[in-house]
Copies of this chain bind each other. A is one copy, B any other.
C-alpha cells in the first residue's frame, strides 16, 4: 500500500516511527507492505516512488525542521494539495493540526483524496467536527474507505470497537472522559486540594496542558469528540454548534472536597445520546470505571444487549495515536483483498 502523509508534527512523526518499527512485522502478519511514497509538512515535501526511508526522514526533520531536506527527493515549497495532484498513492494519512474554525486545510486534502479514489485515515478532529457528513458521503460516493479512530481519544479505540467488536449491539448512548488534560487537572485537585489555577500551572509546566489551554479546559476539544462519536457511532447528523459546552475553569477545591466526602469525584464528561449532546463537569461514583486518574480517557457505551461496556486508554501521545492510525490502515488493507 502506497501511503502519503500530510502533516509531520507529533502525530505524523509517530506514524513514521511506527512504520519504521513495524513494517516487517506487518508484512509478515498481514501480507501488507507499507510504502511511504510522499510526506509533506508546512514548508515542503519529499516524494519518492521507490519509497521513503522513515528513519532517515525522522532524522532529517529533527536536524533541519523540514522534510524537504530529505536527500535527493526533497522539494521545497510544495503544498499538501500540490502533492495530491502529483503523486500516485493508495491511502492518505491526514495529520495536519486541528483547525476548529473551518477545518482547513485538512478538509480539502481529504475531499481531494476521496474524489480521486483514495482511502483516507485521519486523526484530525476539526473537519470531522464541522462537516462529518460531507466527508462520509464523499467517501461512500467514491467507494473508498474513511477511517478516523485516532480523532477521538488517541489510544482509546472506541469507534472501531463500537462498529466492529460490538456489531451485534445497538449503541444507545455514550458517556465519557474525552480529554486527558482536564482529567489530569481534576484528579490532582481531588488528590491534593489545590486550586484550579495552581494545578493548571503545574500541568503547563509538565507539558500536559498547553500554554493556551482554552481548547482543553473550556471543553472545546471534548465537544469535537462528542460530535464525531454522535455522527459515526450513533448515525446522527450534528456539528460542533449543537453541543452544550461547559468547561472546568470555575471548579473550586471546596466543591471537589464536598463531592469526595459523599463518595463522588468531579470529572469533565461528554455525553452523546439522541436527547443530549453535552460536555460538562459531573459527579461520578468513586468505584466506577470513571474514577480513573491522570491523563487517561474513558468512554462507556450503553448498549441494548450487553449493558454498559467501557474502554479506557491513553487519550494522547505520538506513538499511541499513530497506533490507532496503523490499525485503521490494516483494516483498510483487509477490505482491499
Residue of B nearest to A191 (CB): B287
Asked if B312 and A307 make an inter-chain contact with CB atoms under 8 angstroms apart, the answer reads: no
A287-B292, A289-B312, A292-B287 given as contacts; is B307 within 8 A of A168 (CB)?
no
A165-B160, A167-B330, A168-B330 given as contacts; is B307 within 8 A of A313 (CB)?
yes
Q: Does A169 contact B (CB under 8 A)?
A: yes
Asked if A157 and B165 make an inter-chain contact with CB atoms under 8 angstroms apart, the answer reads: yes
Which of A71-79, A122-130, A320-328 is found at the contact surface with chain B? A320-328
A305→B26 CA distance, assembly (Å): 13
Count class of interface residues, chain A: 35 or more
Q: Does A172 contact B (CB under 8 A)?
A: no
Asked if A169 and B323 make an inter-chain contact with CB atoms under 8 angstroms apart, the answer reads: yes
What 1/0 flags go to A265-297 for Cβ under 8 Å of B? 000000000000000000000111101111010
> Within 8 Å CB of A291, what residues of B?
286-287, 291
Chain A residues numbered 182-207 whose CB sits less than 8 Å from any CB in chain B: 187
Asked if A306 and B155 make an inter-chain contact with CB atoms under 8 angstroms apart, the answer reads: yes
The 8 Å CB contact of A327, one of B166, B308, B317, is B166
> Within 8 Å CB of A166, what residues of B?
157, 323, 327
> Within 8 Å CB of A249, what residues of B?
none
Asked if A311 and B314 make an inter-chain contact with CB atoms under 8 angstroms apart, the answer reads: no
Asked if B324 and A306 make an inter-chain contact with CB atoms under 8 angstroms apart, the answer reads: yes
Chain A residues numbered 55-103 whose CB sits less than 8 Å from any CB in chain B: none
Q: Does A48 contact B (CB under 8 A)?
A: no
What 1/0 flags go to A239-268 for Cβ under 8 Å of B? 000000000000000000000000000000
Residue of B nearest to A301 (CB): B313
Minimum CB–CB distance for A256 against chain B, Å: 14
Residue of B nearest to A289 (CB): B312
Asked if A310 and B307 make an inter-chain contact with CB atoms under 8 angstroms apart, the answer reads: no
Minimum CB–CB distance for A11 against chain B, Å: 13
Q: Does A303 contact B (CB under 8 A)?
A: yes
Give me 6 A-to-B residue pairs in the complex whose CB atoms sit less than 8 angstroms apart, sorted by A's number.
A155-B306, A160-B165, A165-B165, A168-B323, A169-B327, A306-B320
Q: Top 6 closest A-B pairs, CB basis? A: A168-B326, A305-B323, A155-B306, A168-B327, A310-B312, A287-B293
